[in-house]
Structure 1
Amino acid sequence: MTLFQTVVSPTLGVLEIAGAVSGIPYVQGAGMALQVINTTCNQVAIHKRKSAQLAQRCNVLLNLISEHAVSPACDEVRSSLEEAEFVLYSVRDRLQKWSQYSKVRSFLKSSKIEQDLDKCQNDVNTVMERLHVRNPLSVMLLQKQSMDMMRMNQSRLEERLEQLMISPQQVRDAAQRHSTGGQDALDLMRIGQQASSIRLMQLQIPSPRDASMSLEPVFEGPMVESPVASRSSSLELMVQTQIQSALTDLRRLTKIPPTLKVLNNQVKKINSSSPLRSGQYSDIWLGEWLGETVALKTLRILTDPHKAGKMTKRYEHEMNVWSMFKHDNILSIYGVITNLETIHIVSTWQENGNVLEYRIKNPDINPLTLATRGIEYLHGSNIVHGNLKCNNMLVSSEGVACINDFGHTQVLDEVLGRDVFTSYTATSNARWNAPELLRGDDVKPTKASDVFAFGMSILELITKQAPYSHRKRDLSVIQDVNDGRLPLRPTESEDVARWMHDELWGVLNGCWRFAAPERLSIEDVRICLETLAKYLGEHPNWKTEEADEIAAIQLS
């Protein structure tokens, strides 16, 4: 066996490397440097994929150094060998330094470490090119080494992937224990989600195809196609399919939502040519998660990469907060997708649309019972919605109204800045916004402004028209509010008159008081509306009945 074949493996120990290269110029020092590189590349806290690729490249470089070191060499080759040895020392020193960084310091130095890794990679490639390996035999030997390494990696890959698989029995056991309050199903969902987003490079095992192709820029001559490349790909696909099937069964049996809230690589977008709906700053798409239809909301207004990155981090945090809210009248937020061009917020799909669309299709429903308890729940949790209107109250297949978009206003306001965000929303929300939000002052939405907007939403739902429907232009509405003029009491149709009781008009005016502290609380509004809803539901001819009562009293 030649020395070239002996120093092939990147997993050689200290004694093996030292014995293999002892006494040979250039190789001994380079071999010891490589041992440190192989050890420390696994200890770098971030950019592990690039670190592993750099170490693999350094192993190939040592093979080239050893091949030339045992043969007669001209001055040009000796100069290249010295430069190659120096490059390995440089890589060793950098990896040693980075391996000593804490996770926090590594995160702070992330950009610098990534730049230095790229530089090290370029330096290694440069000296490899200068060694001018043109001998077809050398190329074939290196390819044999690469194939041996790939076979070893294939075995490790198969072992790692098999560990990720979830058996049907595990799913059934977890579901059974979940019904009695156990945590197994939640743990299994989390493990499955983690596994379903893993790819070959994330397993920190070099992809065979990548390994074989990595030689092409440096060596000329015929390359041998890896026989295990397609096998790895099909094995990964099989494991991914099995995990998705297991999680789908787990979801069907337990109805638990995603445990991990970052859903990258886990949600499929359906009919991605155009959105189903578009709003003032977002689009709604249809998606699928574990066989369930979900809604994907994308934010169109994020074009600044810096702000998009800031928004991504903020939403990743907010998802963990919002997922804690459990209420029948609160839309379930599953998570967020952050590795696409724009942020995608994933939530349950509400097939009946918003409450206004639902009322138009179902004119006999009681419009006073929709979603009030959801807003009361948010306010009880110290959450201000900030953008209440019928568009943000969705209806499930069971006819239950759910509050949507809570918390988004504050996130967009903070990330985009008040001026930018107001330019998107101030005019379009004018018919629902409280007076204090329309004055141009630096005032954030409050619970009191939510009550004002909710009162306008009830008016919108009863009349099936936006508030101030007699005004065509939003600017006219803003002028009305500034002048202290409230919406006119509607009297248009029998359907509107059916619900527009004097008591209800009094409640709405209590929501619209111009001084925020004087407005009703959402709890008071909910109590009044539920009482009215019951009365008006039981007395569809209340107008006639009350008129007869008044006449009877007058006669008596």
Structure 2
Amino acid sequence: MAYLSVFCAVGETAAQAVGVPVAASLINEIIKACEEVGKQKRSAKLLGTKCKELAMTLTEEADRLEDEDMRKRIDEVTGNRSRIFHTVRGRTQKWAKLSLLYRWWRRDEIGTGIEELKTLIEIQLEKFSMQNQIALKRAQNDTAATIKQNHAEDKEMLRQVLANHKEILKLAERHSAGETIANDLFEEGQKELQELRKILRSPTSLSESGSAFQSSRRNSSSIQTTREKYLELQKGLLDLQINTGILPADKRLDGQVEREGDMAVTGGPHTDIWKGKWFGQTQVALKALRYIKSSDEKAQKRFIREIEIWSKLKSNHVLQFYGVITDIGSNLHVVTPWLENGNVLEYLARHPDVDKMQLVMGTAEGVRYLHSVEVIHGNTQYPRHGLKSKQRHTKSKSQGQACISDFGMAKTLQDITKTPMSTTLKDHDGVRWMAPEIVEGKSPSKASDVYSFAMSVLEMLTEKAPLYELKRDIAIIRAMAKDGPIRPKRPTEPEVVRWLTNELWGLLELCWAKTDHARPTMEDLMRDLREISNPLIMAK
């Protein structure tokens, strides 16, 4: 009777569940009758097992779910369909009361009846399971709908904040105070912008209902609404960026930047530089990397990783990086601010009376800062770098602020293309700025940056390329191969001597030491330059 006692225990447990005492009592009696049938023992046992399974299912569900929907489903099994349980009980009890003889005589009838009852119970289990799944699916759908609604409300709040200029100004104040809410808002705004862009770029499909014309009109209206949201969001992000100076959290700026003109405006050893517009308004520089294709996923990830590092650098003399774009032309583009003053040499040509020592100091500070955070510049031609639009006023004249750009790019390109930096720079007339070890094929270092910085200082003061008397780079290479590193001759022109004092010339010669360990550090140079520059400023 152990088998019977187990089932009875289950029945008693089921009877304790809310809403199931009737079903539990019936199941107890069914289990008992199944034990006493004595014929078709295996089938009868399986019928009892099915009853047990149903009882346990009712009990577990009642314990786990206490909402109204669960009560209704249990009531449906135990109430509206209780006649099924009464039928099962009645038939099994009838068979159990038969004498042994009659049970043998009606064995086929009992066997068929047990199978029918098993089927009835299985149907109840399946229906209950299906109802449970439906209810679960409904609950999941309700939860998903709630999440979707909350997500939509969050997006709407995001758009409202970015559309409110007063809120942007408040955010700018909080950002200046060190709060990060503006950064978070900009990041979420970028994500939403990308989502809207995907919608605008996806092919529109016609609805299955209604005419093609009506569906087309609905799609057109939806696209127009999405486009308006996109432009409104762009405008808000631009307002936030202008007032806070925040750099994009997502460095992939596809769809946010437009290139202007049919030709690059200038170029460098590694790049062709175009003008562009970010968010349709802010002027930016697009630097197309000649050796990196936009389809190169590995290169994209490497540059994005480097830009995320570079974007953390903070110095008035280091140009910021916004990000990269891959949807313009066949080459990867790096996006930076556009410097209206142009590079140092262009600026000097327009402003002959500028304080050159301030430009030298600004350039030195930029390189010093990079070295302090363990960034090697590598691109040697500093006078070809830019000046910020930010103005400094000196005797009623406004002067641009020297700003280092393209730092780290030479090393990154060398790693990606597996081409030594010396090869690239030799191909683009960069030899005259290069330290001798770089000409020999070694990688850039802080010491090679120092050598190149000194050459750049000489170029800024003379407004001529270093070693200008040697017209071609091949002549410089041959001379270096024959006699070792070539030192520039000291200029004697009055307009150069005005800035190039004995102290400054001696400092430059230290930077041109043949061996890299004999050159001063940028930290030492900055200290000495401050001492040199003070008398010059006083003399003015």
TM-score range, shorter chain: 0.5 to 0.7
* C-alpha distance in structure 1 between counterparts of 2:265 and 2:343, whole Å: 13
Matched, 1:336 2:324: yes
Match of 1:195 in 2: 192
Matched, 1:282 2:276: no
1:233 to partner: Cα distance: 0.7
1:289 to partner: Cα distance: 2.2
1:396 to partner: Cα distance: 1.1
Q: 1:444 to 1:200 in 2, by over 3 A?
A: closer
The 5-angstrom pairing of residues 94-493 of structure 1 reads 162=156, 165-167=159-161, 168=164, 170-199=167-196, 201=198, 209-212=204-207, 225-271=215-261, 273-290=262-279, 291-303=281-293, 305=295, 308-340=296-328, 341-364=330-353, 365-367=355-357, 368-397=360-389, 398=391, 399-419=400-420, 422-427=422-427, 428-440=429-441, 443-482=442-481, 483-493=483-493
Q: 1:222 to 1:508 in 2, by over 3 A?
A: closer
Q: 1:266 to 1:186 in 2, by over 3 A?
A: same
Tell me, yes or no, if the aligned pair for 2:432 and 2:467 is still in contact at 8 Å.
yes
1:451 to partner: Cα distance: 0.5
1:328 to partner: Cα distance: 0.8
* C-alpha distance in structure 1 between counterparts of 2:223 and 2:199, whole Å: 14
The 5-angstrom pairing of residues 5-44 of structure 1 reads none
Q: 1:162 to 1:357 in 2, by over 3 A?
A: same
* C-alpha distance in structure 1 between counterparts of 2:178 and 2:205, whole Å: 46
Greater CA drift, 451-460 or 368-377: 368-377
Q: Given residue 506 of structure 2, which amino acid in structure 1 is its aligned partner?
A: G
Q: 1:363 to 1:310 in 2, by over 3 A?
A: same
Q: 1:350 to 1:223 in 2, by over 3 A?
A: closer
1:224 to partner: Cα distance: 6.6
1:438 to partner: Cα distance: 1.2
Q: 1:173 to 1:519 in 2, by over 3 A?
A: closer
1:520 to partner: Cα distance: 1.1
Give the 3-state SS of the residue equivalent to 1:371 in structure 2.
helix
* C-alpha distance in structure 2 between counterparts of 1:532 and 1:494, whole Å: 18
Match of 2:21 in 1: none
Tell me, yes or no, if the aligned pair for 2:247 and 2:311 is still in contact at 8 Å.
no
Q: 1:431 to 1:201 in 2, by over 3 A?
A: closer
Q: Given residue 199 of structure 1, which amino acid in structure 2 is its aligned partner?
A: L
1:303 to partner: Cα distance: 5.0
Q: 1:537 to 1:196 in 2, by over 3 A?
A: same
Tell me, yes or no, if the aligned pair for 1:174 and 1:188 is still in contact at 8 Å.
no
Tell me, yes or no, if the aligned pair for 1:386 and 1:406 is still in contact at 8 Å.
yes
Match of 1:133 in 2: none
1:464 to partner: Cα distance: 0.7
Unaligned runs of 5+ in 2: 1-148, 392-399
| RMSD, matched Cα | 2.9
Matched, 1:503 2:500: no
Q: 1:539 to 1:188 in 2, by over 3 A?
A: same
* C-alpha distance in structure 1 between counterparts of 2:268 and 2:239, whole Å: 35
Tell me, yes or no, if the aligned pair for 1:280 and 1:425 is still in contact at 8 Å.
yes
1:158 to partner: Cα distance: 8.7
Tell me, yes or no, if the aligned pair for 1:386 and 1:410 is still in contact at 8 Å.
yes
Give the 3-state SS of the residue equivalent to 2:362 in structure 1.
coil
Q: Given residue 318 of structure 1, which amino acid in structure 2 is its aligned partner?
A: E
Q: Given residue 501 of structure 1, which amino acid in structure 2 is its aligned partner?
A: T
* C-alpha distance in structure 2 between counterparts of 1:232 and 1:304, whole Å: 31
* C-alpha distance in structure 2 between counterparts of 1:467 and 1:486, whole Å: 10
* C-alpha distance in structure 1 between counterparts of 2:205 and 2:425, whole Å: 48
Give the TM-score normalised by structure 2.
0.63
1:352 to partner: Cα distance: 1.0
Q: Given residue 412 of structure 1, which amino acid in structure 2 is its aligned partner?
A: L
* C-alpha distance in structure 1 between counterparts of 2:443 and 2:207, whole Å: 58
Tell me, yes or no, if the aligned pair for 1:161 and 1:239 is still in contact at 8 Å.
no
Tell me, yes or no, if the aligned pair for 2:200 and 2:226 is still in contact at 8 Å.
no
Q: 1:176 to 1:507 in 2, by over 3 A?
A: closer
Q: Given residue 380 of structure 1, which amino acid in structure 2 is its aligned partner?
A: S
Give the 3-state SS of the residue equivalent to 2:324 in structure 1.
strand
* C-alpha distance in structure 1 between counterparts of 2:425 and 2:367, whole Å: 21
* C-alpha distance in structure 1 between counterparts of 2:218 and 2:341, whole Å: 50
Match of 1:86 in 2: none
Q: 1:309 to 1:392 in 2, by over 3 A?
A: farther
* C-alpha distance in structure 2 between counterparts of 1:503 and 1:200, whole Å: 58
Give the 3-state SS of the residue equivalent to 2:534 in structure 1.
helix
Matched, 1:520 2:524: no
1:283 to partner: Cα distance: 1.1
Q: Which runs of 4+ in 1 moved over 6 A?
A: 155-161, 221-224
Name which one, 1 or 2, has greater alpha-carbon Rg.
2
Q: Given residue 459 of structure 2, which amino acid in structure 1 is its aligned partner?
A: E
Greater CA drift, 323-332 or 243-252: 243-252
* C-alpha distance in structure 2 between counterparts of 1:386 and 1:395, whole Å: 19
Give the TM-score normalised by structure 1.
0.62
* C-alpha distance in structure 2 between counterparts of 1:200 and 1:539, whole Å: 58
* C-alpha distance in structure 1 between counterparts of 2:197 and 2:322, whole Å: 26
Match of 1:28 in 2: none
Identity level (%): 33
Tell me, yes or no, if the aligned pair for 1:371 and 1:393 is still in contact at 8 Å.
no
1:331 to partner: Cα distance: 0.5
Give the 3-state SS of the residue equivalent to 1:165 in structure 2.
helix
Tell me, yes or no, if the aligned pair for 1:392 and 1:403 is still in contact at 8 Å.
no
Equivalent pairs, count:
372
* C-alpha distance in structure 2 between counterparts of 1:377 and 1:157, whole Å: 43
For residues 146-203 of structure 1, the C-alpha deviation after alignment (integer angstroms, 9 at most, x for no partner) is: xxxxxxxxx9999897466233165354334324322221111111111122237559
Q: Which has the higher helix share?
A: 2
Q: Given residue 168 of structure 2, which amino acid in structure 1 is its aligned partner?
A: V
Give the 3-state SS of the residue equivalent to 2:160 in structure 1.
coil
1:211 to partner: Cα distance: 4.3
Unaligned runs of 5+ in 1: 1-154, 216-220, 541-556
